Amino acid sequence: MNFFQNLALKYSHNMMEKSLRQGFNVELLKTPKKKVPQDGKQYMLYMHIPFCHTFCPYCSFHKYYYNENLAKSYFENLRNEIQIIKDQGFDFTSLYVGGGTTLINEEELLKTLELCKKLFSIKEISCESDPNHIKAEKLTLFKGLIDRLSCGIQSFDNDILKKISRYNKFGSSEELQEKISKALGILPIFSIDLIFNFPGQTKDQLLNDLQIAKNLAPQQITTYPLMKSNLTKDNIAKSLGVSFKDNEFEFYQIIREYLKSYTQNNSWSFSLEKNSLNDEYVSSHHEYLGIGSGAFSFLEGELLINAFNLNDYARLIKEERNANIAKAYFNKKEIIKYVFLTEIFAGKIEINKFNKTLNCNLEKDLFVELLGLKLSKAIYKENDSFYSTDFGKYLFVVLMKDFYTGMDLVRAVFRDDKRLKNKNFIDVMKENVDPLNSIDMEFKSGQ
Ligand SMILES: C[S@@+](CC[C@H](N)C(=O)[O-])C[C@H]1O[C@@H](n2cnc3c(N)ncnc32)[C@H](O)[C@@H]1O
Ligand code: SF4
């Protein structure tokens, strides 16, 4: 990385922090906002399944410890919420089910996916699982329903698996490889999630992870840089230690070089063959509707946040309402920047199409930002499109990581019900939060 690229990285990171701060103009809602579809717009449906049997130290996704009765009534509420949005006139062609562990109760998930297929024009469904829910006889139940299943592996190194408390829960490297080879070929796309840049991870450990993943030959491999936020940094330090050298850039280059025979779907996802289904629903659809506890919707420049607390969520659905309890506004420029990031993350932006969709003039509206990206050689323009360069791909990994880390802030505040009682969100934020720079936040996982 040269001096200008280093500068571009720091500048973009600071701009992202600023945008996230401004974006966090969150207003708590007295009554949920009714969602209304707009003519001619395509939306994606996101569904959240907030249950895991055990928790991993690096993970800040919204989740509760699994309990069968709790999960059954949650799925029932979810199906009621699906009916509510159907009655509001929404339709979708694409569904992303995220968690937690979405296959944790296969029977309930099956009923819920079947309902989605019945009510909407869904053509593709993507789900996430841990390695304990990918047995062939269970996956077979989802043939013709799930098109892409991503399975969290994180690493094939037994030392790392032990440190992140997954060795005993999900199996050794050898057991994981066996589970994956038996699961392959049942559903159209099987994706392996790996994490890189764990504190203390060596280049050899990374190369070994990549070699094993490649030998297994899943249709996709996704390599996330380790993301640390206020919610997870202490647990990460306790389980993995603290590293004094950051290998993220070097390791990212190694990954791209190692997987160069794969097609790069976006900055961190690689496919054996090009396909539209990947891990980043935000980069494939500008507007999405989130259902379930703790789900976000991004509609008409507003981020709507569903109730995190399962009782609140159940109560709102029983009242036959939408389950959102707060919203955040974004001004037009913030929306353009957000959509720009999510699209360039996938490698290419068609300028005319972008301008038409957002009713903007990209090159004028983001003149300074684009100039910086061009000067640092993060993007280049060709035939009315912007493309990300090798350096750009890394820069956009860093910015996407910043974006997700920023989202942890929202999760932190909304998970902790006590903070929100008798106070407004802005006060809670002011008291506790300096978004991306670490300030201790009390967080009790599992509630
Ligand atoms: C929502 S999780 C669900 C996966 C599934 N429950 C499991 O653990 O196998 C989806 C993926 O996000 C990635 N992930 C979670 N926390 C992360 C973090 N702090 N940094 C980087 N990637 C993370 C992991 O690769 C994980 O498999
Ligand atoms: S990584 Fe997966 S299993 Fe672990 S806590 Fe997160 S969602 Fe649950």
Check residue 447 and give its pLDDT: 28
Which of 46, 51, 52, 61 for a ligand 1 pocket mutation test, highest count of atoms within 8 Å of Cβ? 61
Q: Is 56 in the pocket of ligand 2 (CB under 6 A)?
A: yes
Measure CA 213 to chain center: 21
Written as six digits, the tokens of 136 are 């062939």
Dist. CA 291–CA 288, nearest whole Å: 10
Residues of the chain with pLDDT under 50: 432-447
Distance 66 CA to ligand 2 centre (A): 12
How far apart are the CA of 235 and the centre of ligand 2, in A? Answer: 14
What's 228's domain CATH number? 3.80.30.20
What does 419-440 look like in DSSP terms, one character per residue? Answer: HHTTS-HHHHHHHH--TTS---
Pair (228, 266) in one structural domain:
yes
Does one domain contain both 130 and 161?
Answer: yes
Task: Indicate if 169 and 271 belong to the same structural domain.
Answer: yes
Regarding whether 227 and 183 lie in a shared domain, the answer is: yes
The best mutation among 51, 58, 59 to test binding of ligand 2, ranked by most ligand atoms within 8 Å of the C-beta, falls on 59
Asked if 65 and 195 sit in the same domain, the reply is yes
What local confidence, expressed as pLDDT, does residue 440 receive?
A: 29
Q: Candidates 51, 66, 101: which one to mutate for ligand 2, based on the most atoms within 8 Å of Cβ?
A: 101
Alpha carbons 282 and 142: distance in angstroms, whole number: 24
For residue 52, give the ligand nearest its CA.
2
CB neighbour burial string for 423-444, b if at least 16 within 10 angstroms, e if fewer: eebeebbeebbebbeeeebebe
Q: Cβ distance 217 to 272 under 8 Å?
A: yes
The encoded tokens of residue 395 equal 């820069």
Separation of alpha carbons 156 and 205, rounded Å: 8
421's CB contacts (< 8 A; 6+ apart) are none
Q: What's the gap in Å between 436 CA and the centre of ligand 1? A: 20
| Residue 128 CB–ligand 1 contact under 6 Å | yes
Domain identity same for 386 and 270: no
Q: Rounded distance, CA 202 to CA 151, Å?
A: 23
The ligand 1 atom nearest the CA atom of 100: 6
Tokens 């659809």 -> residue:
285
CATH of the domain at 409: 1.10.10
Closest residue to atom 5 of ligand 2, CA basis: 55
Same domain, 170 and 66: yes
How many Cα atoms sit within 13 Å of 304 on the Cβ side?
Answer: 24
Residue nearest to atom 4 of ligand 2 (CA): 56
Q: How many CB atoms lie within 10 A of CB 421?
A: 7
Please indicate, yes or no, if residue 2 is contained in any of the structural domains: yes
* pLDDT for position 22: 65
Please check whether residue 314 lies inside any domain of the structure: no
CA-proximal residue: ligand 1, atom 5 (nearest): 130
- Give domain status of residue 315, yes or no: no
Residue 299's contacts (CB-CB under 8 Å, 6 or more residues apart) are: 35, 43, 287, 288, 289
Whole-number pLDDT of residue 412: 76
Judgement on whether residues 244 and 185 belong to the same structural domain of the protein: yes
Ligand nearest to the CA of 165: 2
For 236, the domain range is 25-283
Q: Are strands 269-271 and 263-266 parallel, antiparallel or unpaired?
A: antiparallel
Statement to judge: residues 5 and 83 lie in one domain: no
DSSP string, 170-224: H--HHHHHHHHHHHTTSSSEEEEEEEE--TT--HHHHHHHHHHHHHH--SEEEEE
Question: Looking at the structure, do residues 52 and 178 belong to the same domain, yes or no?
Answer: yes
Asked if 130 and 244 sit in the same domain, the reply is yes
Domain membership flag for residue 140:
yes
Asked if 212 and 177 touch (Cβ cutoff 8 Å), the reply is: yes
Q: What is the position in ligand 1's atom list of the atom closest to the CA of 170?
A: 9
CB 33 within 8 A of CB 304: yes
CA distance 119 to 77: 16
> Does the Cβ of 166 fall within 6 Å of ligand 2?
no
Contact (Cβ atoms closer than 8 angstroms) between residue 289 and residue 79: no
| 198 and 122 together in one domain | yes
Q: Which residue has tokens 């300074």? A: 368
What does the block give as tokens for 58?
A: 């690096």
Ligand nearest to the CA of 446: 2
The string of DSSP codes covering 226-250 is: P---TTTHHHHHHHH---SS--HHH
Q: What does the pLDDT read at residue 276?
A: 55
Euclidean distance between the first and the last CA atom of the chain, given in angstroms as a whole number: 43
Per-residue pLDDT at 433: 44
If we measure between CA atoms, which residue out of 148, 154, 145 comes closest to residue 191?
Answer: 148
- For ligand 1, atom 18: residue with the closest CA: 227
Any domain includes 76: yes
Q: Among 48, 59, 160, 235, say which to mutate for ligand 1: greatest number of ligand atoms within 8 Å of CB.
A: 59
Within a domain: 307: no
- Structurally, the chain folds into a number of domains equal to 2
- Residue 60, both tokens: 């800040």
Output the pLDDT for position 284: 52
Task: For residue 140, count CB atoms less than 10 angstroms from its CB and return exposed for 0-12, middle for 13-18, buried for 19 or more.
Answer: exposed
For residue 154, is it within any domain?
Answer: yes
Name the residue at shortest CA distance from atom 1 of ligand 1. 99
Tell me, using a 6 A CB cutoff, whether residue 232 lines ligand 2.
no
Residue 267 covered by a domain = yes
The answer to whether the beta carbons of residues 57 and 232 sit under 8 Å apart is: yes
